[in-house]
Structure 1
Amino acid sequence: MASFIKDALARNLRQPRGGPVGWFVNRYVFENLNRGLEENAVKLCDISKNDTVLEVGFGPGIGIQEAYMKIKDGKGKIYGAEISKKMIQKAIQKLQPQISAGKVELVLADVINLPFESDMFDHVFHCNCYYFWDDQVACVKELRRVMKQNAKMITVLNEFSLKEVNEKGIMKYGNTDPEKYMYSLKKAGFHDVNYLKLKSERGNPFSAISARK
């Protein structure tokens, strides 16, 4: 693979943009490869119909849509924070009815400076996201701030896929090391930090990191 293509892929994984490479990353990675991870992240959150939930780095909105199904008949609400304007545009198209109904709210924001009140969320989740946080401790401290006491945060990843993209040099703008992320969680004050190797209902292996405020 040509070096300029690798670099374009790496940049779009960090912050999705437009163009042919951005289209490929959205369709192949976010829409296809990440779909199962998003679904499993929502399941692990164990969301109730009256919960307030945040997804960070929601991409095209698959996880937001899945989480909405858990609260649609209750008083709950799903929020999403995303740094890519392109992804927000795509997610708004997908989730317009839910947004109009006041059950979903999407914001353009960096995880290190979230526009939410403290002690606001019952659950937080993210998928293939922490790799691109330059200051992981500061970012997870900010996430901890907006979580309610005893709230749980879930992140999901696929070890096989990460190994493959790391070997190809496509993750050069990120750090996928789960131990570094777990260290950051503990340093930020999270407890019950656990690394779980699991399988989806379809039998596909994936990993999850859980942490509680």
Structure 2
Amino acid sequence: MSIEDVVRIHAKPSGEEGKKVGMDMNEHHYELWRWGLGHISIRPDSWILDVGCGGGRAVSILGDIVEAGKVYGIDHSPEMVELATVFNREAVERGHVTIIHSSVSELPFPDGMFDIVTAFETCYFWPDIVEDLKEVRRVLKDDGRVLIVNEMYEHASFEERNTPYNEVEGMNIFSARDYRELLEAAGFSSVEIDEVPENNWITIIAIK
């Protein structure tokens, strides 16, 4: 599979191939998600939105944490909405989790609805990241937090691996400095960044 095909199927998983990608993400990103979530404290009554929820395992992890709260997941791929709904079937049926077909660029929620918005392995593909971060900020409560967790970011140690992906239309791999500037441009404050350079992992937290 070419790099262009890899980017295409991960940007918007579709068909049987897309469902397989979603299931693979559920399996292979677990440690990354756990590491990223370890950077924030989450109250059990929090309302959380997971943007680009993919196969739905991150939603499941969040649902277990916020037993008295609520978790929403959105994805712009109908296949991922279906997969995430099935993965979280019991929580969906009792109203603890809701999965919606939507784009980050136009979130179907009122202002100030969420305590936390998470974005795992998805910012690479956002159409207009500053405007999309502004939309994320809109649905956060005052002092709410956005948590971004990625397993690829611009770093000299991974330049040879990452550059071909960064050159494909529709994918952008940002540096730690880029994330800080993008979030500040979108109106966020108190941007904190943690990196694991040997893994090329990055977590970014910012406050509305």
TM norm structure 1: 0.85
User: Quick check: 1:174 aligned with 2:171?
Assistant: yes
TM-aligned CA deviation for residue 139 of structure 1: 0.3
- Which residue is equivalent to 2:126? 133
CA contact (8 A) 1:155 1:208 kept: yes
- Which residue is equivalent to 1:25? 21
Distance in 1, Cα, partners of 2:119 & 2:136: 11
- Which residue is equivalent to 1:58? 53
Report matched runs for 1:151-166 at 5 Å. Answer: 151-159=144-152, 163=158, 166=162
CA contact (8 A) 1:67 1:78 kept: yes
Gaps of 5+ in 2: none
Which amino acid letter does the alignment assign opposite residue 70 of structure 1?
I
TM-aligned CA deviation for residue 195 of structure 1: 1.7
CA contact (8 A) 2:165 2:171 kept: no
User: Quick check: 1:14 aligned with 2:7?
Assistant: no
Name the SS for the 1:174 alignment partner: coil
CA contact (8 A) 1:130 1:181 kept: no
Percent identical among aligned pairs is 27
Name the SS for the 1:152 alignment partner: strand
- Which residue is equivalent to 2:114? 121
**Correspondence for 2:207 among 187, 204, 212:** 212
TM-aligned CA deviation for residue 119 of structure 1: 0.7
TM norm structure 2: 0.87
Name the SS for the 1:45 alignment partner: coil
How many residue pairs get matched? 203
Name the SS for the 1:44 alignment partner: coil
Name the SS for the 1:112 alignment partner: helix
Distance in 2, Cα, partners of 1:139 & 1:169: 21
Which amino acid letter does the alignment assign opposite residue 101 of structure 1?
R
Gaps of 5+ in 1: none
Distance in 1, Cα, partners of 2:153 & 2:29: 13
User: Quick check: 1:34 aligned with 2:34?
Assistant: no
User: Quick check: 1:191 aligned with 2:189?
Assistant: yes
Q: Would the alpha carbon gap of residues 182 and 134 (structure 1) be closer, same or farther in structure 2, given more than 3 Å must change?
A: farther
Distance in 2, Cα, partners of 1:171 & 1:38: 26
CA contact (8 A) 1:47 1:67 kept: no
CA contact (8 A) 1:7 1:170 kept: no
Moved more, 169-178 or 142-151: 169-178
CA contact (8 A) 2:111 2:138 kept: yes
TM-superposition CA deviations, 1:40-99 (whole Å, max 9, x none)? 333333221111011100110111000011122x2x100111111111111111111001
CA contact (8 A) 2:145 2:207 kept: yes
- Which residue is equivalent to 1:77? 70
CA RMSD after TM alignment: 2.5
Distance in 2, Cα, partners of 1:133 & 1:189: 17
